[in-house]
Amino acid sequence: MQEVFVDIYCRGFPGTERTTPFGDDTVVWTVHGHMFAAYTKGGEGVSLRLDNKIAAHLAVGQGRAASTPYLKGDGWVLFPWDTRPEELRDRIGKSYRLVLSDKNR
């Protein structure tokens, strides 16, 4: 169910595309070709980018997120599916805007 929520929400941002570059089970959302969200079907949550490594370490330390096994660096963390929908929406939007602003530099 949360995977559907992520897909619907991400689809609403301008310039986004849903891709499966690593096989049908791994969904990657991009904005102008740059990843801002990813999840594995049946996995534990959605990977999102935070402002930096410090913000990522804080989120992990507070128990709000987990380290991502494959996305090391640049503040990537995994938010579990039981994250409150309001927070998940906020975090997805921030990840989208962060990646979009990086792309426009």
Model confidence pLDDT, tens digit, residues 17-55: 999 999 999 999 999 999 999 999 999 999 999 988 888
Q: Which two tokens stand for residue 47?
A: 């990977």
Within-domain flag for 75: yes
Is 53 a member of any domain?
A: yes
The SS3 of residue 80 is strand
Number of domains into which the chain is organized: 1
Could you tell me if residue 59 is inside a domain? Answer: yes
- Please report whether residue 104 resides in a domain: no
Whether 105 is covered by a domain: the verdict is no
Residue 73: inside a domain? yes
Domain of residue 77: give its range: 2-99
Question: pTM of this prediction?
Answer: 0.89
Residue 103 pLDDT: 61
Domain-located, residue 63: yes
**What local confidence, expressed as pLDDT, does residue 55 receive?**
87
Burial of residue 66 (CB within 10 Å: 0-12, 13-18, 19+) is middle
- What's 33's domain CATH number? 3.90.1150.30
60-77: pLDDT as tens digits: 888 889 888 777 667 899
Task: Find how far residue 68's CA is from the centre of its chain.
Answer: 11
Residue 104 has pLDDT above 60, yes or no: no
